[in-house]
Structure 1
Amino acid sequence: MSDSRKPADEYVVIRHRPGYRLRRSLILLGFTVVAAVAGYAAGLAQGGFRFSSAEASAEHLLDQVETLQEQYREARQSLINLERGRAIDEQALREARNTMVGLETRISELEADLTFYRNIMAPSETSKGLQVDSFTVTPARSDGTYNFKMVLTQVGNNKSYISGLVAVNVIGTQEGEKEVIALRDLSDEIDDLGVKFRFRYFQDIEGTLRLPDGFAPYEIQVVAQAEGRKASQSERTFDWKDLTEN
C-alpha cells in the first residue's frame, strides 16, 4: 500500500542547542572587529587616509563596536532567559512528578478504604461476623516506644452493634527465654487485660507501647471476644518484623 501522505504533511525535527545563537553572535562579532581593524591598518599602510578620514573611520568603528556590544547584551539576555526558562521547566516537571506521586498514593489509600468497606458490606462466606482486620506499629521518638493501632470489624450482619473485649499479647524473647507480655504491661493507656469495644461497622483502638530493655519481640497475638447474642471469637497473629518493615 503506497504512502498517501503529501510532502506538506512531513515534519523536520531540529535539535535544540541552548546557547548556539549566543556563540554564533560572538563569532560574528569577532570576525567583524578583526575585519574592521585589518581594513583600517591597510589604509594607514597605503597612506590613503588623511587625518579627517581617520577620525571618520574611528567614529564609524566606535559606532560598530557600540552596535555589536548592544547585540552582545541582547544575546546574553536571551541566553539568561533561556536558562531561566529551562530551570522553570525543570521545576514545573519536578512539581508535576511530585503531584503525580501524591495522587497515586491517595488513589491507593482510597482503593484500600473502598476494599475495606466492601468487605464489611459484602463479605465472602468464610469471613463473617467479628474480625480482627489489622494491627500496625510505628516507631515513636523514644527508643523502644511504638504507636500501635488495631482495627476490629463486624462483617456482613452489621445491622446491630457488637460488643466485647479484645486482648493483645506481645510474644518475644528475654535473655534467650520465650516471654509473653500483655499489652497492659507495656502501655500506660490500658489498665485491664482486655480492651472493651462496641461498634456496628468497625472500631479503631490506638495507643502507645514501650518494650522492656533486652526484650526482642517476634509476634503480636490479638484475640477479640464478642459477648451476648453475637457471641463469637476472632484471633490473628502478626509477625513483628513484617509490621516494622512496612
Structure 2
Amino acid sequence: MSESRKPGEEYVVIRHRPGYRLRRTLILLAFSITAAVVGYAAGMAQGGFRFSVAEESRDRLEEQVEQLREQNREASQQLVNLDRGRTIDAEALNQARRTIVELETQIASLKADLTFYKNIMAPSETSKGLQVDRLNMQQERQDDTYGFKLVLTQIGDNKSYISGVVAVNVIGMRNEEKEVIALRDLSDDIDDLGVRFRYRYFQDIEGLLRLPDGFEPLEVQVVARAEGNKSSRAERTFDWDELTEN
C-alpha cells in the first residue's frame, strides 16, 4: 500500500544497525571502569609513597627522642654524681674541721700539762711550795649541778711530801644578801670543812656540787694550808662566770 507524498516533504533514510546502542553503552561502561581502576592504582601508589615518607619521618623522630632521653639520663646521672660529690666533700671538710678542733684542743691540753709539769719541776723564784694551781667547773645535765676539779701542786722541792687541809667556799647572793656556803654543804663527795691532802707533786680533788634554790654564785674561794716543816698557806679566788663560761 502506497502513501501519497505531499509537495515539499523530504525523506531521510537511516541505516538500521541492530545492537549498536547496547555496544556503545558497554564500551562507555568499560572505559569508566578502566579509568576508575587506573585512578585508584595511581592514588594507592601516591598514598603509599606518602605513607613511607611518614614512616621514615616517624623513625627519625623516634631516634631523636631516644637520643634526647639518653642525654637526659646522662645529664641526670652527672647531676647526681655532682651532688653526691659535693655532699662527700662537705662531709670530708666538716670531718677535717672537727679533727682540727680536736687536735688543737689536744695540743692546748698538752701545752697546759707541759707548763704544769715545768712549773713543778723548774719553778720560778716567786712561785715555790704549796700552790692552788687551777679549778675547773663543768655544768651537768641539771642546770644547778656542776662537776668540779681542784688541783693543788708543790712547786720546787718535791723530794718529800706536803700535807695539810684545803677549804673551798662558794660566795654568792641570795635574797639580796651576800652568802658564803662551804663546799661540804653543796657536795655529797666532801665530808669536812677542810679537805685533807698529801702529795709530792700534785693532787686532784674532784666531785659534784649542787647549788641551792635562789642562790646566785659569784666567786669560789680556795684556801690551802700546809702543815709540819713545810708549813705554808696558798689562797686563790676564781670568778664563777669565768669558771662556767664554756
Report TM bin, short chain. 0.7 to 0.9
CA–CA distance in structure 2, aligned partners of residues 189 and 132 of structure 1: 20
Which stretches in structure 2 are left out of the alignment for 5+ residues?
1-46
Which residue is 1:65 aligned to?
65
Distance 1:57-1:127 versus aligned 2 partners, 3 A rule: same
The percent identity for this pair of structures is 70
Which stretches in structure 1 are left out of the alignment for 5+ residues?
1-46
Residue 220 of structure 2 aligns to which amino acid in structure 1?
I
Which residue is 1:198 aligned to?
198
Larger radius of gyration: 2
CA–CA distance in structure 2, aligned partners of residues 64 and 176 of structure 1: 85
Between 1:140-149 and 1:226-235, the stretch displaced more is 140-149
Which residue is 2:166 aligned to?
166
Instruction: Write out aligned runs for 1:143-182 (5 A).
Output: 143-182=143-182
CA–CA distance in structure 2, aligned partners of residues 127 and 86 of structure 1: 55
Residue 143 of structure 1 and its aligned partner are, at CA, apart by 4.1
Task: Give a deviation string over 1:188-215, Cα, whole Å, max 9, x none.
Answer: 2222121111111111101122223233
Which residue is 1:242 aligned to?
242
Residue 202 of structure 1 aligns to which amino acid in structure 2?
F
Residue 216 of structure 1 aligns to which amino acid in structure 2?
E
Which residue is 1:51 aligned to?
51
Distance 1:145-1:86 versus aligned 2 partners, 3 A rule: closer
Instruction: Write out aligned runs for 1:1-246 (5 A).
Output: 50-246=50-246
Using the size of structure 1 for normalisation, the TM-score is 0.73
Aligned residues: 200
Distance 1:211-1:54 versus aligned 2 partners, 3 A rule: closer
Task: Give a deviation string over 1:76-117, Cα, whole Å, max 9, x none.
Answer: 222222222222222222222222122112211111111111
CA–CA distance in structure 1, aligned partners of residues 117 and 209 of structure 2: 28
